[in-house]
A and B are shown apart, each in its own frame.
Chain A
Amino acid sequence: GDSVTQTEGQVALSEEDFLTIHCNYSASGYPALFWYVQYPGEGPQFLFRASRDKEKGSSRGFEATYDKGTTSFHLRKASVQESDSAVYYCALEGSSGSWQLIFGSGTQLTVMP
């Protein structure tokens, strides 16, 4: 079945560091890919999505490029801030036709001042 893999469970950075959170997917065709961010006590917030090879999604300084060849959608930010500390989830839209979102395991980002 379709799946999403996030290899980093936790990432610790200092302010102004460069961020990369890896996301790889397994699915047929061109599933829509998403990034969500979740703050403590909140539901996931939509960051952006992409649905075509080489399409770049971006929001709030974060970006990711859909790469069909490597089945990846890595999240990057050039300069993180303490306020970016949160859990980040990569997700794909299932190919079963039911539009369910399949989430990765999440990556806890902690940014120290």
Chain B
Amino acid sequence: GALVYQYPRRTICKSGTSMRMECQAVGFQATSVAWYRQSPQKTFELIALSTVNSAIKYEQNFTQEKFPISHPNLSFSSMTVLNAYLEDRGLYLCGARQGPNTEVFFGKGTRLTVV
């Protein structure tokens, strides 16, 4: 079956430091990967959408300078949170799909705590 793995599952970093999280699609070719952040209030914010062979598109309030993303192949994507601060806390979710009109599979997320 199709699965999306995210690691680490949880991480704690000191304010002002950076951390990298990874997303791997297993059982299908992820032509598109979207990174979301779920706040403690459970709302979802789309950070960016990455499609193979296309430029990564960042949503308003999120920038490449703060959340650089790498999507080198059809099974792997990574995102870094640079200079993390308290407002960056949350559950970072990776959603991947094989193509248009297909279901989006999510990983279990990486929970970021900033201290």
Give the chain B neighbours of A87 by CB distance below 8 A: 42
Cross-interface CB contact of B106 among A32, A44, A106, cutoff 8 Å: A44
Which residue of chain A has its CB nearest to the CB of B42?
Answer: A106
Q: Mark B81-108, 1 if CB is under 8 A from A, else 0.
A: 0000000000101010100110111111
Range class of the B interface residue count: 20 to 34
Cross-interface CB contact of A42 among B34, B101, B103, B108, cutoff 8 Å: B108
Tally of A-B Cβ pairs under 8 angstroms: 48
Q: A43-B6, A49-B103, A51-B101 are in contact. Are A100 and B46 (CB under 8 A)?
A: yes
Are B100 and A98 touching (Cβ within 8 A)? no
Q: With the chains together, A45 CA to B95 CA distance in Å?
A: 10
Q: A43-B109, A98-B49 are in contact. Are A105 and B43 (CB under 8 A)?
A: yes
Are B97 and A99 touching (Cβ within 8 A)? yes
Q: A41-B108, A43-B109 are in contact. Are A99 and B100 (CB under 8 A)?
A: yes
Seen from chain A, the residues whose Cβ lies within 8 Å of a Cβ on chain B are 32, 34, 36, 41-46, 49, 51, 87, 89, 98-101, 103, 105-106
User: Could you list 12 further interchain pairs (A-B, Cβ under 8 angstroms) beyond the known A43-B108, A105-B43?
Assistant: A34-B104, A36-B106, A41-B108, A42-B108, A45-B106, A51-B101, A89-B44, A99-B34, A99-B49, A100-B49, A101-B34, A103-B43
